[in-house]
């Protein structure tokens, strides 16, 4: 898309019976602002609905946690940009720049080799859903009649022009990113790793030469990322290097997988010590999070460890309060139970009852009960881990038991799994109050 798109200015478009054009335009701009403010108040809900609509259309975008996070951030950034401009009630178009979140996701899609048509379809699906929501809110502000028609026509042109402008910038960014990715050593590394991950027949010695990395060794795959909004410019590669040193690897094999995601492999002669990795993560940028797959030998281990690390990232992404370093061996069962998020949320709600509430007090009770059960119901040991008094632990466990409606030990496996799902997935499986 080329040229400068024309954004409609509501100041000069509307004529209402009995009013001057300027007065009518001001009235329409005011009503647009009223609708925009209502929608901004429900921005999180609208964002969730847009995410669901986009992922239903393009499941491939949800299958990768890094892409899913960036799609969600892009949806919210674009909607917030439009609604914030309309809420000013001055009839001016949005700024000429595009939200950085919208550019981030297209860079990631190009690096992953995903068809860009999915992004275009996602924009149209998100646009249609946002427009349907706008019409519903507009009907709450303006009664049926000519003024509502004018309001919808003004907002429709505004939104469609904005989306066309953003998509034009997205196309240009995709072309620039593709030219960069397809050139030189990064292209050869990307192609070779994709062939391995896709299970294509490949000569191990030749692939090792192309990668500068010995595939005959044992491999621990890492996925390093930051949640949207985390400032990690240039921090992922150094973090991977520090973890490689802790694991006893010479240097990591890395592949940029998005603007805020890095794939890495640590080649070692034996399994990296978990305690060394946990110590190393405390020395890297505080916004960096890491999912580590199980260590495996050869090309098969390289591939399987990466798939497991991605599964752990999918589990943790979107819940910033989770652990900074997550090992597959610690979360394998939880990841399996969380594959269907709707079923997981239902399981947490039915198992924990009122204890599944998304409140600070419920969270404190859940964590106390989780540690108490993990310590074989030993209150002094649980108190030490929680940095509190034994009596406090017992009081919280008694209150948690009261909310459950049954003794935790009677359904120990279910309770422990529900508590772990609530801990790792947070608001995604908790009951909203």
What tens digit of pLDDT does each residue of 247-266 get? 999 889 999 887 789 999 99
What tens digit of pLDDT does each residue of 325-364 get? 999 999 999 999 988 888 999 999 999 999 999 899 999 9
Proportion of the chain above pLDDT 90, given as a percent: 38
Exposure string of 320-356, with b = 16+ CB inside 10 Å and e = fewer, is eebbebbbbeebeebbebbeeeeebbebbbebbebbb
Cα gap 20→326, rounded to integer Å: 64
Contacts within 8 Å (CB) and 24+ apart, 79-83: 79/39, 79/43, 79/46, 79/47, 79/50, 79/130, 80/40, 80/43, 81/162, 82/36, 82/130, 82/158, 82/159, 82/162, 83/36, 83/37, 83/39, 83/40, 83/43
Domain map (residue ranges) of the chain = 10-181, 214-336, 338-428
Q: What is the band of 10 on the pLDDT scale with cuts at 50, 70, 90?
A: very low
What mean pLDDT is reported for the chain? Answer: 85
Architecture of the domain spanning 338-428:
Orthogonal Bundle (1.10)
Q: What is the band of 17 on the pLDDT scale with cuts at 50, 70, 90?
A: very low
Architecture of the domain spanning 10-181:
Orthogonal Bundle (1.10)
Query: What value does the mean pLDDT take over residues 398-406?
Result: 94
- Is pLDDT at 4 greater than 50 in this prediction? no
Query: What value does the mean pLDDT take over residues 231-235?
Result: 68
Global pTM value: 0.64
Closest CA to 158 of 9, 38, 5, 2: 9
- Is pLDDT at 8 greater than 60 in this prediction? no
- Which of 72-86, 148-162, 242-256, 345-359 has the lowest average pLDDT? 148-162
- Is pLDDT at 95 greater than 80 in this prediction? no
Query: What value does the mean pLDDT take over residues 156-182?
Result: 78
Which numeric CATH code is attached to 214-336?
A: 3.30.70.2730
Q: Looking at mean pLDDT, say which of 42-46, 189-193, 293-297 comes out highest.
A: 293-297
- Do the first three CATH levels of 10-181 and 214-336 match, i.e. the same topology? no
Q: Looking at mean pLDDT, say which of 67-76, 248-257, 388-397 comes out highest.
A: 388-397
Q: Looking at mean pLDDT, say which of 39-53, 164-178, 361-375 comes out highest.
A: 361-375
């Amino acid at each position: 898309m080329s040229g400068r798109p024309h954004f409609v200015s509501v100041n000069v478009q509307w004529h209402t019976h009995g009013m001057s054009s300027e007065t009518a335009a001001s009235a329409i701009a005011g009503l647009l602002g009223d609708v925009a403010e209502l929608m901004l108040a429900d921005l999180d809900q609208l964002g969730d609905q847009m995410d669901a609509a986009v992922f239903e259309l393009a499941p491939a975008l949800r299958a990768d946690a890094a892409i899913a996070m960036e799609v969600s951030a892009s949806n919210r950034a674009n909607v917030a940009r439009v609604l914030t401009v309309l809420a000013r009630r001055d009839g001016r178009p949005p700024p000429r720049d595009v939200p950085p979140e919208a550019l981030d996701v297209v860079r990631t899609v190009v690096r992953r080799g995903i068809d860009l048509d999915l992004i275009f379809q996602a924009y149209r699906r998100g646009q249609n859903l946002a427009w349907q929501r706008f019409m519903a809110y507009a009907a709450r502000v303006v009664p049926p009649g000519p003024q509502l028609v004018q309001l919808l026509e003004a907002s429709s042109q505004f939104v469609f022009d904005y989306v066309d402008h953003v998509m034009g910038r997205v196309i240009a960014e995709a072309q620039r990113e593709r030219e960069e990715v397809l050139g030189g050593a990064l292209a050869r590394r990307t192609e070779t790793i994709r062939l391995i991950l896709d299970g294509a027949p490949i000569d191990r010695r030749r692939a090792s030469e192309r990668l500068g990395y010995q595939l005959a060794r044992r491999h621990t795959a890492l996925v390093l990322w930051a949640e949207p909004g985390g400032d990690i410019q240039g921090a992922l590669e150094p973090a991977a290097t520090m973890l490689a040193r802790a694991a006893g690897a010479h240097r990591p094999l890395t592949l940029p997988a998005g603007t805020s995601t890095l794939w890495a492999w640590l080649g070692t002669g034996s399994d990296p010590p978990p305690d060394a990795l946990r110590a190393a993560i405390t020395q890297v940028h505080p916004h960096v999070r890491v999912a580590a797959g199980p260590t495996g030998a050869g090309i098969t281990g390289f591939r399987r460890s990466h798939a497991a690390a991605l599964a752990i990232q999918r589990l943790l992404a979107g819940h910033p309060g989770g652990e900074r370093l997550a090992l597959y061996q610690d979360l394998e069962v939880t990841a399996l139970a969380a594959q269907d998020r709707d079923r997981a949320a239902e399981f947490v709600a039915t198992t924990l009852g009122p204890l599944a509430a998304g409140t600070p007090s419920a969270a404190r009770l859940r964590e106390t009960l989780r540690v108490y059960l993990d310590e074989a119901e030993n209150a002094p040991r649980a108190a030490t881990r929680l940095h509190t008094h034994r009596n406090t632990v017992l009081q919280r466990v008694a209150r948690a038991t009261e909310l459950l409606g049954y003794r935790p030990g009677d359904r120990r496996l279910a309770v422990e799994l529900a508590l772990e799902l609530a801990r790792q997935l947070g608001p995604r499986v908790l009951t909203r109050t």
